[in-house]
Structure 1
Amino acid sequence: MFYTSRKVAWLDLCIIPIYVLGQIILPIGLLAILTLLHIEIPVTVTIMLSSVITSLLIVLFVLLSHRHHLWSKLRHHLSDLRRHVKLIALTYLGYLISNGVFLALMSHLPEKWQFKETGNQDALKIFFEQTQWLPIMFIGIVIAAPIMEELLFRHLLIGELGKKFNIRFMSILSVILFALLHMQAAQTLLEIVPYLLLGSMFVITYVKSNGNIAVSIVTHMFNNLVAFIAILFQM
C-alpha cells in the first residue's frame, strides 16, 4: 500500500517558502555579505552555493519535522533501495528511448521549433566556465539539486498532498511543475517536452517504489551525474 498513514504532514508545506526564499533571497544576501567582506566569488558560484545551502535547510527541516520516526523510515528506505535497482535502470532506459524518439520527430518540424539543447542546458554550461569551482558545481548539480527537488516535487506534492488531493492528480501536477521550473531559459515551448519526460521518470520511480524517496533521489542523482559528465566533455 502506497500510504502507511492518511494523515497529511501539513508542516512540510514549509518546504515551499524555504525553497522560494532560498532560490531568490539567499543569493542576493550571500552576494551582499561577500561584497562587504571583500571576497570575490563569481555570481554563478554564489548561485550554486545558495542552492546547496537551500538544499541543506530543506533536508534539515524535513529531518526535524519527521524526527519521531526518522531512523526507522530511513533504514527502511535505504534497505528497500536495493530492490529497485532494476526499476531505476528500466525507467532511465525508457526515458532515453522516449527522449530519443522526441528528438527524431522534432527534426521533421519547422526549423524555428527545433533546438539542439534546451535553454536550461545552455545556462548550466556557464557554471562550468571556471574549473576551480567544479567541486561546488558537482555538489550543487549532482547532490543538492536532486535531493531538494525530490523532497519538493515528489515527497511533498505526491507523498503528502497526494493523501488529500488524489495521488494521480498530484503525480501529474508534479511532472508539470517540475518541467515548468526548468523552462526559465527556454527559447521555444517544445523545450518543455524533455523535462516532462524527465519528471515522469522521477514520478514513476517514486510511485512504483511505493513512495520510497531514496529511489527517486538516486534516479535523479544518476541522471544529473550523466548530464554533468556530458557537459564536462563538451567544454
Structure 2
Amino acid sequence: MTSTVEPEKPDLYLVPTPIGNLQDITLRAIEVLKSADILLAEDTRTTGRLLKHLDIQRPLQSYHIFNEHKTVEKWLSAMKEGKQVALVSDAGTPGISDPGFLLVRAAREAGLIVHCLPGPTAFVPALVNSGLPNDRFVFEGFLPHKKGRKTRLDFLKEENRTMVFYESPHRLMKTLLQFKETMGGDRMACVSRELTKIYEENIRGTLDELIAYYEENPIKGEIVLTLSGKT
C-alpha cells in the first residue's frame, strides 16, 4: 500500500559542500540551496563562489564561530515564522569541526525539524585511503593548541582504534613530533592533503618516516592526519 502522507518540510537543512572538487556537490544539495529562504554561510565569499559556479542566486547571511552564539535566537525565530534555513560551511559537512552544533541543538530543543544531507566530509576518504584499520575509529578533529594538549595526547596513547585528526600545515611537524614523543616513532600514520583536488597526496609510513619526509618536503594545503591505534 502506497502512503499518501507527505513528509513534514524541514525547518533547517545542513548542506555539505565540496571539500575541493566542485563536482562532488549532490543534486539534492543543489535543490535545497535553490529553494531555501535563508542561506547561512561560514564565509559568504567562499559560498558565493560556489553559488556562482552552480548558477544559483540567493541572499547569504554570515554564520560563523565568532557570531554563532549571538545569532542562534535570530535564526531560530526565522524558522518559527516559517522560513526554511540552509546552513553550509566553507567545505564539508556543517558541524564537523565547523559551526552548526549550537543551531541544531537549539532547533531540536524548539521542536523544529532538522535534516542533514549526506555528502562530502574530509575525514572519511582520508581514513579509507590511509590503509589503516577503519572498521573502528575515533574522530578527534583539531587537538587543543595549548591548554590540555599534552593531557589529550597522554589519554590517546592508550587508544587502540585508528584516530583521525585535522591539522594545519604550519603545525603538522609539531604534531608528528609530539605523537612520536608520546606514542613512539614506529607508530603507523598517514598524512592526507588537498583531498579531491588536483594535488591530492596521501603519504603513509611510520611517524619517524613521516617526520623525515616532511623535513625535506614542506607541506601546504588542508590536512587530515590518520594515526594507528595502540597494538
Fold match (TM-score > 0.5): no
User: By percentage of residues, which structure has more helix?
Assistant: 1
Higher strand share: 2
TM-score, structure 2 as length reference: 0.25
**Length-normalised TM-score, structure 1:** 0.24
